Structure 1
Amino acid sequence: MITYIDSSLFLKLLFDEQGTSQSQMLWDSDPVLISSRLLRIEARATLARGKLDGRITTQKSKIIVQTFDNLWARLTVVEISEQVAESACEIAESTRLRSLDAIHLASAVAVNAEMFGSSDAKLCRAASELGFAVFNPEAN
């Protein structure tokens, strides 16, 4: 099964929080995992904020970056092409999603994903409306 995952789900693999075990089970079930290059930016920005805010130590940051790199290597990456950008505009206009969420959903559409994984309830609803099976680790 081709499964698209957004940043909110991916971050649960890096930080122990609600939905982490469910996200790990999805990851370990060995689907074809796809995400947008946007995920890399969002995840690294989240890590940087945690470090700058003092919530993540330098040592912990190094471990998280190594884990991130190992996980990232397993993903098939969708580039933010002109087609994805235009699709994201249409999705944003019809669903009221914010821009980055619309890019994630447009990326999933572009690769014909069968399942959409996210812990964002609004994004999951929009994905469901577009015909995706949805995996929300906070609801499953």
Structure 2
Amino acid sequence: MNLYLDTSALVKLYVEERGRTALVEAVSEAEIVATSMVAYVEARAAFARRHRERVLAPADYRRSVRDLDGDWSRYLRFEVSEALVRAAGRLAERYRLRAYDAVHLASALVMRDQLGEVVFACWDSGLNATARRAGLALLSA
């Protein structure tokens, strides 16, 4: 299985949240795990926000950052190229997506075009519905 992680899924790998167990299992079974380059900064921002809001203890915050940094090179990372940005722009207009949601969807569709079947892992119901309409399989969590 080829698995694409949006930021909500990527964060879930490093922060204890509902659905994490199923996601960790899917990642361990996947041949390829991919995300967009923008997911790194989005994940770091999510960790920092949880830390500021005292949802994530200082030690857990440091561990999350350290573990993400350690794993980052293992992911297939989609660059935010001119072609990808233009595709994301079209998807944003067509499906009324937020900017980075459109980047993630465009990246997953490029992955599917390059590698075949892709399972889209996301914990945003609106983006999941759009990914399904765009022809992607969804991770069942």
Give the TM-score normalised by the residue count of structure 1.
0.89
Q: CA deviation at 1:120?
A: 1.0
Instruction: Kindly indicate whether residue 25 of structure 2 is the aligned counterpart of residue 25 of structure 1.
Output: yes
Counterpart Cα distance in 1 of 2:103 and 2:14: 22
* Corresponding residue of 2:108: 108
* Corresponding residue of 2:11: 11
Deviations along 1:15-74, one digit per CA (max 9) or x if unpaired, are 111111111111111330111001101100011112223333332222111211233222
Are the aligned partners of 2:3 and 2:30 in contact in 1 as well (CA < 8 Å)? no
Counterpart Cα distance in 2 of 1:135 and 1:37: 21
* Corresponding residue of 1:94: 94
Counterpart Cα distance in 2 of 1:117 and 1:96: 20
Identity %: 30
Counterpart Cα distance in 2 of 1:59 and 1:116: 30
Return 5+ residue gaps in structure 1 as ranges.
none
Letter in 2 for 1:127: A
Counterpart Cα distance in 2 of 1:88 and 1:79: 12
* Alpha-carbon RMSD: 1.5
Q: CA deviation at 1:136?
A: 4.5
Counterpart Cα distance in 2 of 1:120 and 1:56: 21
* Corresponding residue of 1:75: 75
Counterpart Cα distance in 1 of 2:22 and 2:140: 9
Q: Which runs of 4+ in 1 moved over 3 A?
A: none
Counterpart Cα distance in 1 of 2:48 and 2:21: 24
* Corresponding residue of 2:85: 85
Are the aligned partners of 1:124 and 1:136 in contact in 2 as well (CA < 8 Å)? no
Q: Look up the SS of the partner of 1:15 in the other structure.
A: coil
Are the aligned partners of 1:121 and 1:136 in contact in 2 as well (CA < 8 Å)? no
Instruction: Kindly indicate whether residue 139 of structure 2 is the aligned counterpart of residue 135 of structure 1.
Output: yes
Q: 116, 119, 123: which is aligned to 1:119?
A: 123
Task: Give the count of matched residue pairs.
Answer: 137
Q: Look up the SS of the partner of 1:39 in the other structure.
A: helix
Q: Look up the SS of the partner of 1:33 in the other structure.
A: strand
* Corresponding residue of 2:39: 39
